[in-house]
Amino acid sequence: MLDVQPEASARYDELYGADGQPRAHYEALAATLTALKRDEVLGRVRAINTALLQRGVTFTVYADQAGTERVFPFDVVPRILTALEWERIERGIAQRVRALNAFLYDVYHGERILIEKKVPRDLVYSSKGFNREMIDLDVPRDIYIHISGIDLIREPSGAFLVLEDNCRTPSGISYVLENRDALKRGLPDLFANYAVHPVDDYPSRLLDVLRYTAPRGALQPTVVVLTPGIYNSAYFEHTLLARRMGVELVEARDLIVVDNFVFLKTTSGLERVDVIYRRIDDDYLDPLYFLAESSLGVTGLMNVYRAGNVTLANAIGTGVADDKAIYRFVPEMIRFYLTEEPLLENVPTYDCTDDVQRRHVLDNLDRLVVKNTNASGGYGMLMGPFASAEERESFRDLIESNPRDFIAQPVIELSSSPTLIDGELAARRVDLRPFALYGRTVDVPPAALTRVALREGSLVVNSSQGGGSKDTWVLQAE
């Protein structure tokens, strides 16, 4: 039998309440887990992993030149959210995405928020994601962030906080879809007594958004997914989404710009493309305007975009909205553009460009998490309490020479969820990445990714740093 026991600590336990008993919505799951034979569960887990490997549900890690394909570790114990919890998350995220989108429109047009000094102009203009070609450029439906992933963590009180916004090319939905599939087939017993929202309509919702944001005049818009190719770490996701949406997966060499429109090169001639869901960074999109060495881009694409003849999802230049240095102004954006109070709060954040705050950060490096504003994937980060003295010193130097490149946050005790480690259940920390789709409205499908830090005591959940994922169940309302 799998032994399901609570562990004492200062963090929020997803499964266990303060009384040491499973929370109401986990009772059925806890009972099922206790009743199942350990060997059988482990056998099913092995079968699930084999199936994932055979299907190629992998990501690629590049430690050196050659990349190794790895299955993204999947833990079979689901993480459950009640309908009420989800509703709050949904509303908070929709609000946040609307504000971020409005911010993008503003910084590329009237700059009201900068003129009124709510956000420092210097921070925006020095942001690597701020793209000057987008100044005064109108995008279809004024939608910049078609797809976003807003990372949430649960603090000890049980409240969700926003850890980070991802507004460029957020990934992970492929694991959500494949994990659910694998769990339904491998361990259907777990689902007994639960009414879980299905996740597999995400691709059709995404397609709706992409079609909705096609340029005016495109009656039956042609949508494509643009991938850098098989060597990209998220390639599997690109193929999955293209296939499930029923659209072509293309690489740069399949596209050509003619007379300010984008066309697909097919064996029977050119076909016009109206919407490109591009999984390529801004800098690589067009060698004529951005990085000249890029072979992943489509020459002349920027001019087609400028003329309003193609939709890019997400728009170029959204990186300024998920810049970590801009993150702490998002609550202000919500007030400024929506005249509402934020429904989801930020993690408290220190601005290293402010003298007083920087002093505080440097004096407390052993207690803070320091993040590089230009990095992602868990790289360029200092976990103060777990780092060595040398690591802290090197960050001290970096912060002092380039304060704009760093922010700091207190260590938040992430919530934990029981996870199968070496055949036993143990508490491991988790976060939550819901995805938001901005079309007619901001839609937050109940298809979120829970990432789990597989290493004991670790608070870092990224795939490249020893993370895995869990199936996330959003329960239907009673």
Name the residues that contact other proteins, by CB under 8 A: 53-56, 111, 121-122, 125-126, 132, 135-136, 225, 229-230, 235-236, 238-240, 242-243, 248-251, 253-254, 256-260, 264-268, 287-288, 292, 295, 299-300, 303, 306-307
Do 273 and 262 contact (CB within 8 A), yes or no? yes
Dihedral angle computed from the Cα positions of residues 265, 271, 273 and 276, in that order, rounded to the nearest 10 degrees: -30
Do 174 and 241 contact (CB within 8 A), yes or no? yes
Q: How far is the CB of 260 from other proteins (least distance, A)?
A: 5
SS3 of 378, please?
Answer: coil
Q: How far is the CB of 246 from other proteins (least distance, A)?
A: 10
Instruction: Decide whether 104 or 225 has the Cβ nearer to other proteins.
Output: 225
Q: How far is the CB of 68 from other proteins (least distance, A)?
A: 12
Instruction: Decide whether 260 or 476 has the Cβ nearer to other proteins.
Output: 260
Mutual orientation of helices 173-186 and 235-245 as an angle, nearest 10°? 80
Instruction: Decide whether 193 or 266 has the Cβ nearer to other proteins.
Output: 266
Q: How far is the CB of 71 from other proteins (least distance, A)?
A: 11
Q: How far is the CB of 281 from other proteins (least distance, A)?
A: 17
Q: How far is the CB of 437 from other proteins (least distance, A)?
A: 20
Instruction: Decide whether 118 or 121 has the Cβ nearer to other proteins.
Output: 121
Q: Would you tell me how many other CB atoms lie within 10 Å of the CB of residue 253?
A: 11
Q: How far is the CB of 108 from other proteins (least distance, A)?
A: 10
SS3 of 421, please?
Answer: strand
Distance between start and end Cα atoms, the chain: 31
> CA 158, CA 164: separation in Å to the nearest integer?
18
Q: Would you tell me how many other CB atoms lie within 10 Å of the CB of residue 98?
A: 20
Instruction: Decide whether 107 or 436 has the Cβ nearer to other proteins.
Output: 107
Q: How far is the CB of 59 from other proteins (least distance, A)?
A: 13
Q: How far is the CB of 249 from other proteins (least distance, A)?
A: 4
Instruction: Decide whether 18 or 230 has the Cβ nearer to other proteins.
Output: 230
Q: How far is the CB of 269 from other proteins (least distance, A)?
A: 11
Instruction: Decide whether 245 or 430 has the Cβ nearer to other proteins.
Output: 245
Instruction: Decide whether 18 or 115 has the Cβ nearer to other proteins.
Output: 115
Q: Output DSSP code: residue 178.
A: H
Instruction: Decide whether 82 or 309 has the Cβ nearer to other proteins.
Output: 309
Find the helix or strand (DSSP H, E) in which 394 lies: helix 389-401
Instruction: Decide whether 38 or 184 has the Cβ nearer to other proteins.
Output: 184
Do 130 and 313 contact (CB within 8 A), yes or no? no
Q: How far is the CB of 125 from other proteins (least distance, A)?
A: 4
Instruction: Decide whether 225 or 399 has the Cβ nearer to other proteins.
Output: 225
User: ω into residue 314 within 30 of 0, thus cis?
Assistant: yes
